[in-house]
Amino acid sequence: MENDASQLRKAWSVLIVSTLAFTVCFMIWMMFAVIGIPLKKDLGLNATEFGLLTAMPVLSGSLIRVPLGIWTDRYGGRIVLAALMALCVPAVWLMAYATAYWHFLLIGLFLGLAGGSFSVGTPYVARWFPRERQGMAMGVFGAGNSGAAVNKFLAPALVVAYGWTMVPKVYAAILLGTLIVFWMFSYSDPKHLVPSHVKFSDQLKMLKDPNVLKYSQYYSIVFGGYVAMSLWMVQYYVGEFGLDIRVAAMLAAAFSLPGGVLRAVGGVLSDKYGAHKVTWWVMWVSWICLFLLSYPQTDFTIMTVNGPKTFHIGLNVYLFTALMFILGVAFAFGKASVFKYISDEYPQNIGTVSGIVGLAGGLGGFVLPIMFGVLMDLTGIRSSAFMLMYGVVWVSLIWMYWTEVRQTEVMGRNAKPFALHG
Protein backbone atom coordinates (compact mmCIF):
# COMPACT_ATOMS: atom_id res chain seq x y z
CA MET A 1 0.00 0.00 0.00
CA GLU A 2 2.85 2.34 0.88
CA ASN A 3 4.54 1.66 -2.45
CA ASP A 4 1.27 2.33 -4.29
CA ALA A 5 0.82 5.61 -2.43
CA SER A 6 4.41 6.62 -3.17
CA GLN A 7 3.99 5.76 -6.84
CA LEU A 8 0.76 7.76 -7.03
CA ARG A 9 2.42 10.74 -5.36
CA LYS A 10 5.29 10.59 -7.85
CA ALA A 11 2.84 10.27 -10.76
CA TRP A 12 0.95 13.42 -9.79
CA SER A 13 4.18 15.30 -9.07
CA VAL A 14 5.49 14.37 -12.53
CA LEU A 15 2.21 15.41 -14.14
CA ILE A 16 2.07 18.79 -12.37
CA VAL A 17 5.67 19.89 -13.03
CA SER A 18 5.61 18.51 -16.58
CA THR A 19 2.44 20.47 -17.32
CA LEU A 20 4.06 23.61 -15.88
CA ALA A 21 7.14 23.05 -18.04
CA PHE A 22 5.04 22.50 -21.18
CA THR A 23 2.95 25.63 -20.46
CA VAL A 24 6.09 27.78 -20.28
CA CYS A 25 7.61 26.10 -23.35
CA PHE A 26 4.41 26.67 -25.33
CA MET A 27 4.28 30.30 -24.19
CA ILE A 28 7.79 30.77 -25.59
CA TRP A 29 6.95 28.83 -28.76
CA MET A 30 4.11 31.28 -29.45
CA MET A 31 6.15 34.41 -28.66
CA PHE A 32 6.05 35.75 -32.24
CA ALA A 33 2.23 35.87 -32.13
CA VAL A 34 2.59 39.10 -30.11
CA ILE A 35 6.10 40.51 -30.62
CA GLY A 36 5.69 39.79 -34.33
CA ILE A 37 3.24 42.73 -34.52
CA PRO A 38 5.83 45.45 -33.70
CA LEU A 39 8.48 43.50 -35.63
CA LYS A 40 6.26 43.50 -38.72
CA LYS A 41 6.10 47.28 -38.54
CA ASP A 42 9.80 47.79 -37.70
CA LEU A 43 11.04 45.46 -40.44
CA GLY A 44 8.37 46.42 -43.03
CA LEU A 45 7.13 42.84 -43.57
CA ASN A 46 4.26 41.84 -45.83
CA ALA A 47 1.71 39.17 -44.82
CA THR A 48 3.71 36.31 -46.33
CA GLU A 49 6.95 37.37 -44.59
CA PHE A 50 5.06 37.77 -41.32
CA GLY A 51 3.59 34.28 -41.75
CA LEU A 52 7.08 32.85 -42.33
CA LEU A 53 8.44 34.66 -39.26
CA THR A 54 5.75 33.28 -36.97
CA ALA A 55 6.09 29.81 -38.48
CA MET A 56 9.86 29.32 -38.09
CA PRO A 57 9.73 28.13 -34.45
CA VAL A 58 6.88 25.82 -35.40
CA LEU A 59 9.00 24.23 -38.17
CA SER A 60 11.94 23.23 -35.97
CA GLY A 61 9.64 22.33 -33.10
CA SER A 62 7.83 19.96 -35.44
CA LEU A 63 10.82 18.33 -37.12
CA ILE A 64 12.43 17.51 -33.76
CA ARG A 65 9.34 15.77 -32.41
CA VAL A 66 9.96 12.30 -33.85
CA PRO A 67 13.54 11.95 -32.53
CA LEU A 68 12.47 13.47 -29.21
CA GLY A 69 9.65 10.92 -28.89
CA ILE A 70 12.05 8.08 -29.65
CA TRP A 71 14.69 9.40 -27.22
CA THR A 72 12.00 9.66 -24.54
CA ASP A 73 11.12 6.00 -25.06
CA ARG A 74 14.79 5.06 -24.79
CA TYR A 75 16.25 7.43 -22.18
CA GLY A 76 13.26 8.74 -20.21
CA GLY A 77 11.29 11.98 -20.23
CA ARG A 78 12.96 13.62 -17.25
CA ILE A 79 16.45 13.94 -18.72
CA VAL A 80 15.24 14.73 -22.27
CA LEU A 81 12.82 17.49 -21.20
CA ALA A 82 15.36 19.06 -18.84
CA ALA A 83 18.04 19.10 -21.56
CA LEU A 84 15.57 20.62 -24.03
CA MET A 85 14.68 23.52 -21.71
CA ALA A 86 18.36 24.13 -20.90
CA LEU A 87 19.15 24.49 -24.62
CA CYS A 88 16.28 26.94 -25.15
CA VAL A 89 17.25 29.44 -22.43
CA PRO A 90 20.17 31.11 -24.32
CA ALA A 91 18.21 31.16 -27.60
CA VAL A 92 15.29 32.99 -25.95
CA TRP A 93 17.65 35.52 -24.34
CA LEU A 94 19.48 36.24 -27.61
CA MET A 95 16.20 37.16 -29.30
CA ALA A 96 16.32 40.55 -27.51
CA TYR A 97 19.51 41.46 -29.41
CA ALA A 98 18.43 40.48 -32.94
CA THR A 99 18.10 43.32 -35.46
CA ALA A 100 17.75 41.90 -39.00
CA TYR A 101 14.95 39.75 -40.42
CA TRP A 102 17.28 36.78 -40.95
CA HIS A 103 18.39 37.04 -37.31
CA PHE A 104 14.82 36.42 -36.19
CA LEU A 105 14.35 33.55 -38.65
CA LEU A 106 17.55 31.83 -37.46
CA ILE A 107 16.92 32.31 -33.74
CA GLY A 108 13.31 31.28 -34.33
CA LEU A 109 14.56 27.86 -35.44
CA PHE A 110 16.37 27.38 -32.11
CA LEU A 111 13.38 28.81 -30.26
CA GLY A 112 11.26 26.11 -31.85
CA LEU A 113 12.92 23.40 -29.77
CA ALA A 114 10.59 24.45 -26.95
CA GLY A 115 7.65 23.21 -29.03
CA GLY A 116 9.17 19.74 -29.13
CA SER A 117 8.54 19.42 -25.40
CA PHE A 118 5.09 18.02 -26.18
CA SER A 119 6.50 14.82 -27.68
CA VAL A 120 8.62 14.33 -24.56
CA GLY A 121 6.01 15.07 -21.93
CA THR A 122 3.13 13.08 -23.45
CA PRO A 123 4.71 9.60 -23.18
CA TYR A 124 6.53 10.64 -19.99
CA VAL A 125 3.35 11.44 -18.03
CA ALA A 126 1.19 8.74 -19.66
CA ARG A 127 3.38 5.89 -18.45
CA TRP A 128 2.98 6.96 -14.82
CA PHE A 129 -0.77 6.23 -14.96
CA PRO A 130 -2.88 3.10 -15.65
CA ARG A 131 -4.33 2.76 -19.15
CA GLU A 132 -7.87 3.76 -18.12
CA ARG A 133 -6.54 7.12 -16.83
CA GLN A 134 -3.99 7.87 -19.53
CA GLY A 135 -6.47 10.00 -21.49
CA MET A 136 -6.91 12.17 -18.41
CA ALA A 137 -3.14 12.39 -17.79
CA MET A 138 -2.33 13.33 -21.38
CA GLY A 139 -5.23 15.78 -21.41
CA VAL A 140 -4.01 17.53 -18.26
CA PHE A 141 -0.47 17.71 -19.66
CA GLY A 142 -1.78 18.92 -23.01
CA ALA A 143 -3.58 21.75 -21.21
CA GLY A 144 -0.13 23.34 -21.28
CA ASN A 145 -1.26 24.57 -24.72
CA SER A 146 -2.80 27.38 -22.66
CA GLY A 147 0.70 28.84 -22.71
CA ALA A 148 -0.47 30.43 -25.97
CA ALA A 149 -3.09 32.36 -23.97
CA VAL A 150 -0.60 33.21 -21.19
CA ASN A 151 1.61 34.71 -23.90
CA LYS A 152 -1.29 36.87 -25.10
CA PHE A 153 -1.84 38.23 -21.58
CA LEU A 154 1.79 38.75 -20.57
CA ALA A 155 3.61 39.78 -23.74
CA PRO A 156 1.38 42.74 -24.74
CA ALA A 157 1.76 44.25 -21.26
CA LEU A 158 5.55 43.96 -21.51
CA VAL A 159 5.57 45.36 -25.07
CA VAL A 160 3.51 48.42 -24.10
CA ALA A 161 5.46 49.09 -20.87
CA TYR A 162 9.05 48.32 -21.91
CA GLY A 163 9.17 47.52 -25.64
CA TRP A 164 9.29 44.11 -27.35
CA THR A 165 12.92 43.40 -26.34
CA MET A 166 11.84 42.92 -22.72
CA VAL A 167 9.66 39.92 -23.66
CA PRO A 168 12.46 37.45 -24.52
CA LYS A 169 14.48 38.55 -21.46
CA VAL A 170 11.57 37.91 -19.09
CA TYR A 171 10.69 34.65 -20.84
CA ALA A 172 14.28 33.38 -20.57
CA ALA A 173 14.25 34.02 -16.81
CA ILE A 174 10.89 32.25 -16.45
CA LEU A 175 12.16 29.25 -18.44
CA LEU A 176 15.29 28.95 -16.30
CA GLY A 177 13.21 29.01 -13.10
CA THR A 178 10.83 26.41 -14.54
CA LEU A 179 13.76 24.14 -15.42
CA ILE A 180 14.94 24.20 -11.78
CA VAL A 181 11.45 23.43 -10.42
CA PHE A 182 10.96 20.62 -12.93
CA TRP A 183 14.24 18.93 -12.03
CA MET A 184 13.52 19.14 -8.30
CA PHE A 185 10.03 17.57 -8.45
CA SER A 186 10.21 15.10 -11.36
CA TYR A 187 11.23 11.43 -11.27
CA SER A 188 12.51 8.62 -13.47
CA ASP A 189 11.36 5.02 -13.65
CA PRO A 190 13.49 2.48 -15.63
CA LYS A 191 10.38 0.33 -16.20
CA HIS A 192 9.01 3.05 -18.50
CA LEU A 193 11.85 2.67 -21.03
CA VAL A 194 11.64 0.49 -24.14
CA PRO A 195 13.88 -2.61 -24.10
CA SER A 196 17.46 -1.95 -25.16
CA HIS A 197 17.25 -4.48 -28.02
CA VAL A 198 14.60 -2.38 -29.82
CA LYS A 199 16.33 -0.61 -32.71
CA PHE A 200 15.83 2.98 -33.85
CA SER A 201 14.80 1.65 -37.29
CA ASP A 202 12.17 -0.60 -35.68
CA GLN A 203 10.54 2.39 -34.04
CA LEU A 204 10.51 4.34 -37.32
CA LYS A 205 8.45 1.56 -38.97
CA MET A 206 5.42 3.22 -37.38
CA LEU A 207 5.64 5.77 -40.21
CA LYS A 208 4.17 3.13 -42.55
CA ASP A 209 1.13 2.40 -40.38
CA PRO A 210 -1.99 3.77 -42.19
CA ASN A 211 -3.73 4.50 -38.89
CA VAL A 212 -0.78 6.61 -37.74
CA LEU A 213 -1.08 8.61 -40.96
CA LYS A 214 -4.80 9.08 -40.38
CA TYR A 215 -4.29 10.29 -36.81
CA SER A 216 -1.60 12.62 -38.14
CA GLN A 217 -4.19 14.15 -40.48
CA TYR A 218 -6.62 14.66 -37.60
CA TYR A 219 -3.92 16.25 -35.47
CA SER A 220 -2.80 18.56 -38.26
CA ILE A 221 -6.22 20.21 -37.83
CA VAL A 222 -6.89 20.21 -34.10
CA PHE A 223 -3.30 21.07 -33.13
CA GLY A 224 -1.81 22.49 -36.33
CA GLY A 225 -4.88 24.67 -36.81
CA TYR A 226 -4.77 25.71 -33.16
CA VAL A 227 -1.13 26.77 -33.40
CA ALA A 228 -1.63 28.55 -36.73
CA MET A 229 -4.67 30.49 -35.54
CA SER A 230 -3.04 31.33 -32.20
CA LEU A 231 -0.20 32.90 -34.19
CA TRP A 232 -2.54 34.62 -36.66
CA MET A 233 -5.42 35.91 -34.56
CA VAL A 234 -3.84 38.97 -32.88
CA GLN A 235 -2.92 40.60 -36.17
CA TYR A 236 -6.27 39.44 -37.63
CA TYR A 237 -8.20 41.33 -34.93
CA VAL A 238 -5.97 44.39 -35.43
CA GLY A 239 -6.46 44.37 -39.22
CA GLU A 240 -10.09 43.23 -39.47
CA PHE A 241 -11.63 45.17 -36.59
CA GLY A 242 -9.06 47.95 -36.02
CA LEU A 243 -8.39 47.03 -32.38
CA ASP A 244 -5.50 47.98 -30.12
CA ILE A 245 -2.89 45.22 -29.73
CA ARG A 246 -3.79 44.68 -26.05
CA VAL A 247 -7.52 44.35 -26.77
CA ALA A 248 -6.77 42.15 -29.79
CA ALA A 249 -4.58 39.85 -27.68
CA MET A 250 -7.25 39.58 -24.98
CA LEU A 251 -9.93 38.62 -27.51
CA ALA A 252 -7.58 36.20 -29.26
CA ALA A 253 -7.13 34.49 -25.89
CA ALA A 254 -10.84 33.55 -26.08
CA PHE A 255 -9.67 30.98 -28.63
CA SER A 256 -6.25 30.10 -27.19
CA LEU A 257 -7.25 29.69 -23.54
CA PRO A 258 -10.10 27.14 -23.90
CA GLY A 259 -8.10 25.50 -26.70
CA GLY A 260 -5.47 24.69 -24.10
CA VAL A 261 -7.13 24.42 -20.69
CA LEU A 262 -10.08 22.28 -21.79
CA ARG A 263 -7.84 19.63 -23.29
CA ALA A 264 -7.97 17.91 -19.89
CA VAL A 265 -11.78 17.72 -20.18
CA GLY A 266 -11.35 16.21 -23.64
CA GLY A 267 -9.10 13.56 -22.13
CA VAL A 268 -11.72 12.62 -19.54
CA LEU A 269 -14.46 12.48 -22.21
CA SER A 270 -12.24 10.30 -24.41
CA ASP A 271 -11.66 7.90 -21.52
CA LYS A 272 -15.41 7.69 -20.94
CA TYR A 273 -16.90 7.68 -24.47
CA GLY A 274 -13.97 6.60 -26.64
CA ALA A 275 -11.61 8.42 -28.97
CA HIS A 276 -13.70 7.93 -32.12
CA LYS A 277 -16.95 9.39 -30.82
CA VAL A 278 -15.27 12.52 -29.42
CA THR A 279 -13.18 13.09 -32.56
CA TRP A 280 -16.21 12.64 -34.86
CA TRP A 281 -18.18 15.37 -33.09
CA VAL A 282 -15.11 17.62 -32.90
CA MET A 283 -14.76 17.53 -36.68
CA TRP A 284 -18.43 18.37 -37.28
CA VAL A 285 -18.43 21.28 -34.83
CA SER A 286 -15.20 22.59 -36.38
CA TRP A 287 -16.68 22.28 -39.86
CA ILE A 288 -19.74 24.37 -38.92
CA CYS A 289 -17.71 27.06 -37.15
CA LEU A 290 -15.20 27.37 -39.99
CA PHE A 291 -18.01 27.60 -42.56
CA LEU A 292 -19.45 30.63 -40.73
CA LEU A 293 -16.02 32.19 -40.11
CA SER A 294 -15.11 31.84 -43.80
CA TYR A 295 -17.71 34.32 -45.02
CA PRO A 296 -15.98 37.67 -45.73
CA GLN A 297 -17.40 41.10 -44.97
CA THR A 298 -19.76 41.60 -47.92
CA ASP A 299 -21.89 44.46 -49.29
CA PHE A 300 -24.32 43.61 -52.08
CA THR A 301 -27.03 45.53 -53.90
CA ILE A 302 -30.30 44.16 -55.26
CA MET A 303 -32.90 45.83 -57.42
CA THR A 304 -36.33 46.11 -55.79
CA VAL A 305 -39.58 47.68 -56.98
CA ASN A 306 -38.63 50.69 -54.86
CA GLY A 307 -35.15 50.96 -56.34
CA PRO A 308 -31.76 49.48 -55.39
CA LYS A 309 -31.18 48.31 -51.81
CA THR A 310 -27.77 47.54 -50.31
CA PHE A 311 -27.26 44.92 -47.64
CA HIS A 312 -24.24 44.07 -45.50
CA ILE A 313 -23.34 40.54 -44.40
CA GLY A 314 -20.46 39.82 -42.09
CA LEU A 315 -19.51 38.83 -38.57
CA ASN A 316 -19.07 41.57 -36.00
CA VAL A 317 -16.35 41.25 -33.38
CA TYR A 318 -18.70 39.67 -30.82
CA LEU A 319 -20.04 36.89 -33.07
CA PHE A 320 -16.56 36.30 -34.44
CA THR A 321 -15.11 35.89 -30.93
CA ALA A 322 -17.97 33.59 -29.88
CA LEU A 323 -17.34 31.31 -32.86
CA MET A 324 -13.60 31.30 -32.17
CA PHE A 325 -14.32 30.30 -28.56
CA ILE A 326 -16.46 27.33 -29.71
CA LEU A 327 -13.76 26.35 -32.20
CA GLY A 328 -11.13 26.52 -29.45
CA VAL A 329 -13.20 24.18 -27.26
CA ALA A 330 -13.63 21.73 -30.15
CA PHE A 331 -9.90 21.76 -30.92
CA ALA A 332 -9.12 21.18 -27.21
CA PHE A 333 -11.29 18.06 -27.11
CA GLY A 334 -9.88 16.88 -30.44
CA LYS A 335 -6.25 17.18 -29.34
CA ALA A 336 -7.01 14.92 -26.37
CA SER A 337 -9.09 12.39 -28.31
CA VAL A 338 -6.44 11.88 -31.01
CA PHE A 339 -3.89 10.95 -28.36
CA LYS A 340 -6.40 8.62 -26.72
CA TYR A 341 -6.38 6.69 -30.01
CA ILE A 342 -2.59 6.43 -29.65
CA SER A 343 -2.51 5.27 -26.02
CA ASP A 344 -5.21 2.66 -26.80
CA GLU A 345 -3.61 1.23 -29.94
CA TYR A 346 0.14 1.74 -29.36
CA PRO A 347 0.79 1.37 -25.60
CA GLN A 348 4.37 0.17 -26.15
CA ASN A 349 5.29 2.92 -28.62
CA ILE A 350 3.53 5.99 -27.27
CA GLY A 351 6.68 8.12 -27.57
CA THR A 352 7.40 7.18 -31.19
CA VAL A 353 3.82 7.43 -32.43
CA SER A 354 3.14 10.64 -30.50
CA GLY A 355 6.31 12.07 -32.06
CA ILE A 356 5.12 11.20 -35.56
CA VAL A 357 1.61 12.53 -34.98
CA GLY A 358 3.02 15.58 -33.20
CA LEU A 359 5.30 16.18 -36.19
CA ALA A 360 2.27 16.25 -38.50
CA GLY A 361 0.43 18.62 -36.19
CA GLY A 362 3.45 20.87 -35.87
CA LEU A 363 4.03 20.94 -39.63
CA GLY A 364 0.40 21.98 -39.98
CA GLY A 365 1.14 24.82 -37.58
CA PHE A 366 4.16 25.74 -39.73
CA VAL A 367 2.59 25.56 -43.18
CA LEU A 368 -0.80 27.09 -42.36
CA PRO A 369 0.36 30.59 -41.23
CA ILE A 370 2.46 30.88 -44.39
CA MET A 371 -0.51 29.81 -46.51
CA PHE A 372 -2.72 32.25 -44.60
CA GLY A 373 -0.32 35.03 -45.55
CA VAL A 374 -0.03 33.95 -49.18
CA LEU A 375 -3.81 33.70 -49.57
CA MET A 376 -4.30 37.13 -48.05
CA ASP A 377 -1.65 38.68 -50.30
CA LEU A 378 -3.24 37.02 -53.36
CA THR A 379 -6.91 37.62 -52.59
CA GLY A 380 -6.95 40.51 -50.13
CA ILE A 381 -9.54 38.54 -48.12
CA ARG A 382 -8.60 37.97 -44.48
CA SER A 383 -11.19 35.23 -43.96
CA SER A 384 -9.45 33.15 -46.66
CA ALA A 385 -7.54 31.61 -43.74
CA PHE A 386 -10.77 30.07 -42.49
CA MET A 387 -11.73 28.96 -46.01
CA LEU A 388 -8.49 26.97 -46.13
CA MET A 389 -9.11 25.39 -42.73
CA TYR A 390 -12.68 24.52 -43.78
CA GLY A 391 -11.32 22.50 -46.70
CA VAL A 392 -8.80 20.68 -44.49
CA VAL A 393 -11.56 19.65 -42.06
CA TRP A 394 -13.55 18.23 -44.99
CA VAL A 395 -10.64 15.89 -45.78
CA SER A 396 -10.64 14.52 -42.23
CA LEU A 397 -14.42 14.06 -42.12
CA ILE A 398 -14.38 12.06 -45.36
CA TRP A 399 -11.37 9.98 -44.23
CA MET A 400 -12.98 9.27 -40.86
CA TYR A 401 -16.29 8.30 -42.44
CA TRP A 402 -14.79 5.73 -44.84
CA THR A 403 -12.26 4.21 -42.41
CA GLU A 404 -14.25 4.25 -39.16
CA VAL A 405 -17.96 5.10 -39.48
CA ARG A 406 -18.53 3.20 -42.74
CA GLN A 407 -16.59 0.13 -41.58
CA THR A 408 -18.58 0.03 -38.34
CA GLU A 409 -21.85 0.18 -40.30
CA VAL A 410 -20.72 -2.64 -42.62
CA MET A 411 -19.59 -4.81 -39.73
CA GLY A 412 -22.91 -4.20 -37.98
CA ARG A 413 -24.90 -5.32 -41.05
CA ASN A 414 -22.71 -8.41 -41.49
CA ALA A 415 -23.21 -9.35 -37.86
CA LYS A 416 -27.04 -9.21 -37.96
CA PRO A 417 -27.67 -12.57 -39.70
CA PHE A 418 -25.54 -14.36 -37.10
CA ALA A 419 -27.45 -12.65 -34.33
CA LEU A 420 -30.77 -13.84 -35.78
CA HIS A 421 -29.61 -17.45 -35.91
CA GLY A 422 -28.12 -17.23 -32.43
- Fold of domain 2-191+202-421: Growth Hormone; Chain: A; (1.20.1250)
Write the single-letter amino acid at 133.
Answer: R
CA atoms within 13 A on the CB side of 24: 27
The confidence score (pLDDT) of residue 129 equals 87
CA distances from 322 to 248, 382, 386, 394 (A): 14, 18, 15, 22
Residue predicted with more confidence, 406 or 289: 289
Share of the chain above pLDDT 70, in %: 91
pLDDT tens readout for residues 264-288: 788 888 888 888 899 999 999 999 9
| pTM strictly above 0.85 | no
pLDDT tens readout for residues 366-394: 888 888 888 988 998 889 999 999 998 99
pLDDT tens readout for residues 112-143: 888 888 888 888 998 888 877 888 888 888 88
* pLDDT band (50, 70, 90) for residue 201: low
The confidence score (pLDDT) of residue 217 equals 87
* pLDDT band (50, 70, 90) for residue 420: very low
Written as one string, the DSSP assignment of 276-289 is HHHHHHHHHHHHHH
Residue predicted with more confidence, 348 or 306: 306
The confidence score (pLDDT) of residue 418 equals 44
Written as one string, the DSSP assignment of 330-391 is HHHHHHHHHHHHHHHH-TT-HHHHHHHHHHHHHHHHHHHHHHHHHHHHHH--TTHHHHHHHH
Q: Which of 69-73, 166-170, 238-242 shows the highest mean pLDDT?
A: 166-170
User: How large is the average pLDDT for residues 239-248?
Assistant: 86
End-to-end CA distance of the chain: 46
pLDDT tens readout for residues 13-41: 999 999 999 999 989 988 888 888 888 88
The confidence score (pLDDT) of residue 68 equals 86
Average confidence score pLDDT of the chain: 84
The confidence score (pLDDT) of residue 2 equals 46
Q: What is the CA radius of gyration of the chain?
A: 22
Domain extent listing, the chain? 2-191+202-421
**Is it the case that residue 422 has pLDDT exceeding 60?**
no
